[in-house]
Amino acid sequence: MTENGKGDGDAQQINEIQEDIKCPIGKFSGDGAYDTFDIWELLKEEKIEGIIPPQKNAIYRVDKNGDLLDIQRNTILQEIEIDGREEWKKKSGYHRRSLSETAMFRFKTIFGVL
């Protein structure tokens, strides 16, 4: 469990969290704080579908030759360009993430972590 605003947020803990999970992971949902190159590379390496909205000012990730990198984030950006951010969130099931966010907020509130 991480604390808000302490510089060691959830995205910085993903490698440690992932190492502790012993079962296969099919999908990973996270908010825009998880939109980092390291996270997308980890998801690609582990063959996990990422459901993470790119930052609103996001640009495509390209290699040194200017070619699009083969990461799901670029595909998501293309989908958002075509259908819009809200439609992507509906199609991807992104809004389901808010259920777990609410549960964790309640847990932290009850046990005084906040």
pLDDT exceeds 60 at position 4: no
Q: What percent of the chain has pLDDT over 70?
A: 82
Residue 21: give the domain boundaries: 10-110
Reported as a single tens digit per residue, the pLDDT across 42-83 is 899 889 999 999 988 899 999 999 999 889 999 999 999 999
The pLDDT assigned to 32 comes to: 87
Q: Domains in the chain: how many in total?
A: 1
How confident is the model at residue 49, as a pLDDT? 94
Query: What letter represents residue 54's amino acid?
Result: P
- Are residues 97 and 51 in contact, defined by beta-carbon separation less than 8 angstroms? yes
Q: What is the mean pLDDT of residues 76-95?
A: 94
pLDDT band at 99 (very low <50, low <70, confident <90, very high): confident
Of 114, 112, 96, 78, the C-alpha closest to 31 is: 96
Residue 20 lies in a domain: yes
Which residue type occupies 2?
Answer: T
Residue 1, domain member (yes or no): no
Domain assignment present for residue 3? The answer is no
- CA distances to 3, 54, 82, 83, 102 from 86, in Å: 29, 12, 11, 8, 20
Domain annotation covers residue 39: yes
Domain assignment present for residue 5? The answer is no
SS3 68: strand
Q: Which of 23-27, 37-41, 98-102 has the lowest mean pLDDT?
A: 98-102
58-87 core/surface letters (b: 16 or more CB in 10 A; e: else): eeebeeeeeeeeebebbebbeebeeeeeee
